[in-house]
Structure 1
């Protein structure tokens, strides 16, 4: 009898033990449908605190200056974002990105934490509030340019970096709401991706892996940590390339690369050293390349339907010849035709269009140079091409824009709709004697009457270097014959 009772008790203990274990099994990766009571209370308290203020992603990034000591945030502030990355496939490790909006995002931030399998807590699209007080804003690796939220700092011979949030900091500072938003990837081209997109979920269309990767897999087994595979996009007459990086720990690393053309949705990130921008997949379900591979256009099938070399224009005064419009929106300095002394393009004495703010005595200078009207319905495909140079550009800016609703009057330039074109423009660090080709900029997505604008933004403040000069020459419009 005693043996039977003992056996019964042992059986009940085992059953209870199994029941408890089944509630916390490690392979339950479903997204939580509700929040824990403590997390609910912590978020409610944060949002109800009249002394707590929400700050923008730009505010957070502005708290860090490379080379300066990193202090903990000492004000009662928080930032809200939406999770854009997932470690479900192992391609991200002890980190996740948030972006400032589930659609049309403008910025991203990185969060590093001493935690794996975060995807079943911080799932893609989850609205997250980060209580920044006593946390640290900086870089995870010196000079990589990825602004990161961490839980501490460490310093070595290269500088000070932020370290991972510990479990307590995550529980008290990284607070989920009950909302999970549908993420709408930002549609971009390879040439449009910049540092401002780091941490943002993007989609790139009309892409494919390069021909030499046929039959290869996402990860190269001879690599130790990461493998980069080259993506290419048909840009008319040339390919534009970008790197997709895959971790050695990803679950999809041995999948074959697709051989067709299509789209890819991924998170913009950086290489370990921060030297280059790359794309990183959340899952290969976001790679849809089942279409026919693209073919480049033949330059022989195109004619130059308009060109401007600015030769013959009166030098030293605002450009107003041959249908061009120059307009000083802010300040009095304007685009002028000048005779260049550069050794190139094609040499000294060549006339170019030039705008610079040096000695303008104005904190802000904004000046427009706008092309003659272009009828985009009169022919097939059209491409823009030009050359640019600088003279100590000193952080001034040159934007290349297109409008199909400007009425041709200077009074309405600022109120018209202007869209940025993905043209290559000379950089700050280039020699002032050099001229750089814009590449062939596809205009086929636009129709009707259009204008191309070169918008200069600079100034001559008492402090700051934004007074440089930009120069334009050999402007052309090519159309399919």
Structure 2
């Protein structure tokens, strides 16, 4: 059984340098109730005198140890701005807060045994949390979402909620309430560093095939995830909606695209990065759909959209249960040792006859050393051996160069293929290995768009 770790300032003073920020405005709020006012007056005085240390959200998150609950013993305080709201019922007994009103760099979850907290903890409200006696951990062990809670479970690997009575003493509002400026990102730019932040995903739309569906599957008792895709690159993200939200039976706006704004987090088990809405009004799809000319995220678990040609060797392109997210297409010349191979993965024919601009985008990851993957385009391929069939032009792309990690997925950049507009095009990934060097490549989220 794991024990709850107790953290005091002595144990991490060498990791962080705490100091009272004399330039901060610790003016006393006047419009939040006399008792709460008095508690905050005392807390701000403690910070200014140095008897309490004001931490950043990033510093609090750095106290987290995977699989453990860390209880804070020292007189530490963290300040933030509320980024989520349970007004619509999409959040339950929790709120998120971030470190800045605009251009935030860190967010954190706060687990609290309180519902309908949106009036007290409204979006943009400045709050101070007295951390002494509280804990840092995960509400569901392994979910990847660092949170502040009241204590720990018997196993010592999950935090419990802060009780409503305790919250009135340790979560103190100032009178300051601001309009948060959402962090504007493309879908491909969103990552786990944005968990807890109020983010606007730009140029997004719901994936094709979701026509006629609601935010929540009526057969689901808890949550439903719907796929979002980018209009400008190969980025994807899942929108998660609670069955208890007041818009659970609203139709998805699948006929348009635009901006969608919400909180970045992970699902219950931590399997997927997701966005959750504060309100359905934060979906601003005011442009027409941007369905791609060709798109494959390999979620179908097959390579049916591709022509696989093995010129040399026994190894070939295949589906792997890993990816960005999983699955993806994989190639390796290693089998009991490095082997000589030349393998091509070629798209089906893509019609560009009505377009004037065309862009290709994909993502790649590499492990081990070997010849670099190459990417080609052809307008006259006819389905045979690509070494003799068609004129192939090598494209200038960005590939993953970190052969030591499976997590270094790299975006190709937007590759201009407008010179092929007005006709047809094929895209090919050419892999080569030798008897002495065989890299392993995975590719994902291949996307061709045009206008």
Aligned counterpart for 2:249 among listed residues 250, 254, 257: 254
Residue in 1 aligned with 2:414? 442
Quote the residue 1:139 is aligned against: 138
SS of the residue aligned with 2:201? strand
Q: Distance in 2 between matches of 1:227 and 1:244?
A: 8
Say if 2:99 is the partner of 1:103: no
Q: In the alignment, which residue of structure 1 is the partner of 2:15? A: none
Higher Cα Rg, which structure? 1
Q: 1:342 to 1:33 in 2, by over 3 A?
A: farther
Instruction: Give the drift of 1:391.
Output: 3.9
Paired with 2:267 and 2:363, the residues of 1 have a C-alpha distance of 32
The CA deviation at 1:155 is: 2.2
C-alpha deviations, 1:295-342, integer Å up to 9, x for none?
A: 43579xxxxxxxxxxxxxxxxxxxxxxxxxxxxxxxxxxxxxxxxx97
Are the counterparts in 1 of residues 81 and 101 from structure 2 also a CA contact under 8 Å? Answer: yes
TM-score normalized with structure 2 length: 0.62
Is 1:150 the counterpart of 2:149? The answer is yes
Q: How many residues align?
A: 314
SS of aligned partner of 1:152: coil
Aligned CA RMSD, in angstroms, stands at 3.6
Give CA deviations for 1:11-30 in whole Å, capped at 9, x if unaligned. xxxxxxxxxxxxxxxxxxxx
Once the two structures are superposed, the pairs formed by residues 97-246 of structure 1 within 5 Å of their partners are: 97-156=96-155, 159-235=156-232, 239-246=234-241
Does structure 2 retain, via aligned residues, the 8 Å contact 1:109–1:198?
yes
CA separation of 1:222 and 1:428: change in aligned 2, threshold 3 A: farther
1:153 shift after superposition: 1.0
CA contact (8 A) 1:82 1:99 kept: yes
Q: Which runs of 5+ in 1 are unaligned?
A: 1-31, 300-340, 351-378, 393-420, 445-469, 473-477
Write 1 or 2 for the structure with the bigger share of helix.
1
Distance 1:95 1:427 in 2: 40
8 Å Cα contact 2:187-2:204 kept in structure 1: no
* Structure 2 CA distance for aligned equivalents of residues 48 and 240 of structure 1: 47
Aligned to 2:289: 293
Matched, 1:64 2:64: yes
Give 1:241 deviation, angstroms. 2.3
Alpha-carbon shift at residue 124 of structure 1 (Å): 0.2
1:392-433 deviation digits (Å, cap 9, x = unpaired)? 9xxxxxxxxxxxxxxxxxxxxxxxxxxxx99767685549xx
- Between the aligned partners of 1:136 and 1:190, the Cα distance in structure 2 is 32
Looking at structure 2, the residues matched to 294 and 41 of structure 1 have their Cα atoms a distance apart, in angstroms, of 55
* Alignment partners' CA distance in 1, 2:364 and 2:217: 39
Q: Secondary structure in 1 aligned to 2:259? A: strand
- Structure 1 Cα separation of the partners of residues 192 and 222 of structure 2: 23
C-alpha contact 2:57 2:107 (8 A) present in aligned 1: yes
Does the residue aligned with 2:158 lie in a helix, a strand or coil? strand
Q: TM-score, normalised by structure 1?
A: 0.58
Aligned to 2:123, the other structure's residue is in SS state coil
SS in 1 for 2:60: helix
